[in-house]
Amino acid sequence: MLPLIPPSGEPTTSTLFTGGAVVSMDPTIGDLPRGDVLVRGTEIVALGTDLRDAAQAQGAVIVDVTGCILSPGFVDTHRHAWETQFRRSIPDVTDLGAYVMSTLADLAPRYTPHDMYVGTRLAALSALDAGITTMLDFSHNSRSCAHSDAALDALVDTGIRGVHAAMGPHFGDWDRQWPADLVRLHDRAGGLVSVRLAALATDEIAGPALAYGPELAALARDLGVWTSIDAVFGTASSEAVLRWARQGILDPTLTLIHCTGLTGQAWAAMADAGVSVSLAPTSDAQIGLETAVPAIDEALAVGIRPGLSIDVEVALASDMFTQMRTLHAIQRMRAVNGAYGTDALPSRISTRDVLDLATVQGACANGLGHITGSLTPGRQADLIVVRAEDVNTMPLNDAVGTVVLGADARNIDAVLVAGRARKWNGALVDVDVDALRTEVTLSRDAILARG
C-alpha cells in the first residue's frame, strides 16, 4: 500500500521513489536491482542506488516502493479512441473490409461531439489505468470543428500526454473543415496535448481527399507538425512510399502505420528517409492485414526500430502488455520457423527489445523522444510503479521479463504523467468509475438508436 498521493506536479515539490527495481530504458544508466528515482515538479531529477541522504532529495516526500518495479510509462503510437463505446463489438472480425463497413461506414456517421468526447475519454483513462502515459489518438471521425474539439478536450481532461492526430471521416456527411481546421487545432492545443496531421496511405478505402500527398505535406510543413499515415500495406502503399520519395515528401516527420506486405524497395526508401514506423501487432495478426505478420523483422532489417500501438478496440485488446507479448511471440516463432531444418541460428528479439519499442521507440515515433520514453534526468516524469510481489508476478527474478511477460494492468500501483499521479494504489485518481460507466453506456445506446 502506497502512502497518500504526494502533491506531485508542482514546481517546488519533490518525491523520492525508493527501494524498487529500476528499469530506466536509458542505455547510459541501465537497470538498478534496487534503486531510487527522484522527481521534482514535472521532471525526473536523479536516479541512484540510494538517494535518501542526497542534498537534492532533502525535503522530498518519500514513497517506499520496495517489492515494485519502476519503469517508464508505455507509449501508444496509434489508437482510434473515439470508437471505445463499441469495444469488442466485433471480436471475430473477418477482415479489414468488415471493420470498415461496420464501424466507419455504419457507426461513425452517427457520432455527436459528445460521443467523441465520451469515447476518447474512456480510451485515455483505460490507457492510464494500464500504464500508458502517452497516447496518439488517430481521430479519423473529425466531422466538424466541434467533433475535433471534443476529442482534444477529452485528452486534456484525463491528464494523459496526448497527441491528437486529426483526419476527416471515411464516409457520411461532414463539414469538410479538415484539413484546414488543423491550423485552429494546432493553436488550440497546448500543455500535455499536441496536434499532428493524420492521413491514409492511398485512396483505395476512402478516396483521394484523405490520402497523403504534396498538399497535405505542405500543410504539415507550414504548421511544423508531424504526420501519421494509416493503412500502409501492400503493393499500392509500396508504390505510394516510392512516389513520396520522388516528390520529396518522405521524411523524418512521418510515422507510417502497419507496414505489412511492403516491398523491399519501399522499406529501403523508408530507412533512407528516416521515417518512423508504428506496428499494431494484434491488429495485423487478428484482423489479417495483408500478410497478417507484424513487420518487425522487415523494420529491424533496415535499421528502423518501430513503436507499438493498440489500433481498434472494437476488435482488439486495449493494453500494451498484450501488444508486447504478441509481438515477442510472433517474431520468435517466425525466427525459429525460418531456421528450422537448417544450420542457421534464429535471430530472436528479447523482452528488452519489445519494452524498448513500447517506451523509447514509441516516444520517438510520436515526436516526443526528447521528452518522454525513458527514466532519464531532465525528461518528464512519466513513469509507472508495477507491483512485483503479487500472485502473478512473485518472486521478482528479472524486472524486464516481469513487466513484459508477467504483469498486467492489475499490477500497476501508480502512474505518473509529468510528475502528477493519475493512478495511485491501483485506482485512477479523481475518476468516478460508476459515473463513467453510466455515461459510456448512455452514449453507446444513443448511437445505436440513431440507426
In this predicted structure, the answer to whether residue 56 has a pLDDT above a threshold of 90 is no
Q: What distances in angstroms separate CA 221 from CA 178, 196, 225, 365, one per listed residue? A: 16, 11, 6, 17
Same domain, 53 and 179: no
Structure confidence by residue, pLDDT tens digits, 134-147: 999 999 999 999 99
The mean pLDDT of 330-339, rounded to a whole number, is 96
Q: What distances in angstroms separate CA 144 from CA 141, 147, 177, 183, one per listed residue? A: 9, 5, 6, 14
In this predicted structure, the answer to whether residue 205 has a pLDDT above a threshold of 90 is no
What is the rounded average pLDDT for all residues in the chain?
96
Same domain, 403 and 306: no
Does 78 fall in a domain? yes
As beta bridge partners, residue 428 has 423
Domain that holds residue 385: 14-72+371-428
Same domain, 174 and 121: yes
Number of residues that make up the chain: 451
Q: What distances in angstroms separate CA 48 from CA 19, 31, 62, 384, one per listed residue? A: 10, 10, 15, 17
Task: Report residue 12: phi and psi, to 5°.
Answer: -100, 5
Nearest of 321, 388, 389 to residue 354 by alpha carbon: 321
As beta bridge partners, residue 134 has 75, 161
In this predicted structure, the answer to whether residue 7 has a pLDDT above a threshold of 70 is no
Same domain, 344 and 305: yes
If pLDDT is split at 50, 70 and 90, which confidence band does 11 have? low
If pLDDT is split at 50, 70 and 90, which confidence band does 9 have? low
If pLDDT is split at 50, 70 and 90, which confidence band does 54 have? confident
Q: What is the CATH number of the domain that holds 420?
A: 2.30.40.10
The mean pLDDT of 128-134, rounded to a whole number, is 98
pLDDT at 367: 97
Same domain, 109 and 56: no
pLDDT at 55: 76
The mean pLDDT of 363-371, rounded to a whole number, is 98
Contact 189, 159 (CB under 8 A): no
Same domain, 147 and 27: no
The mean pLDDT of 71-85, rounded to a whole number, is 98
Inter-axis angle of helices 113-129 and 433-449, nearest 10: 140
Calculate the CA 309 to chain-centre distance: 5
Last residue of a domain, one of 365, 381, 397: 365
246, exposed or middle or buried, with CB in 10 Å at 0-12, 13-18, 19+? exposed
Q: CA 385 to CA 271: how far, in whole Å?
A: 35
Task: Report residue 250: phi and psi, to 5°.
Answer: -100, 105
Count of C-beta atoms within a 10 Å radius of residue 297: 15
Q: CA 79 to CA 62: how far, in whole Å?
A: 36
Does 114 fall in a domain? yes
pLDDT at 8: 63
Does 448 fall in a domain? no
In this predicted structure, the answer to whether residue 12 has a pLDDT above a threshold of 80 is no
Same domain, 337 and 240: yes
Does 447 fall in a domain? no
pLDDT at 53: 84
Q: Residue with C-alpha cell 530472436?
A: 348
Q: What is the CATH number of the domain that holds 95?
A: 3.20.20.140
Highest mean pLDDT among 8-22, 203-217, 251-265: 251-265
Does 1 fall in a domain? no
The mean pLDDT of 110-120, rounded to a whole number, is 98
In this predicted structure, the answer to whether residue 6 has a pLDDT above a threshold of 90 is no
The mean pLDDT of 24-28, rounded to a whole number, is 97
Number of domains in the chain: 2
Residues above pLDDT 70, as percent of the chain = 98
pLDDT at 278: 98
Q: CA 158 to CA 139: how far, in whole Å?
A: 16
- Give the type of residue at 312: V
Does 9 fall in a domain? no
Same domain, 180 and 50: no
Same domain, 293 and 310: yes
Calculate the CA 205 to chain-centre distance: 24
Helix, strand and coil in the chain, % to nearest 5: 40, 25, 40
- pTM for this entry: 0.97
Same domain, 159 and 37: no
Q: CA 352 to CA 348: how far, in whole Å?
A: 12
Task: Read off the C-alpha cell for 252.
Answer: 523524418
Same domain, 78 and 96: yes
Q: What is the DSSP letter of 251?
A: S
Does 438 fall in a domain? no
Same domain, 197 and 314: yes
Torsion over CA: 99, 101, 105, 107 (sign): negative
Does 302 fall in a domain? yes
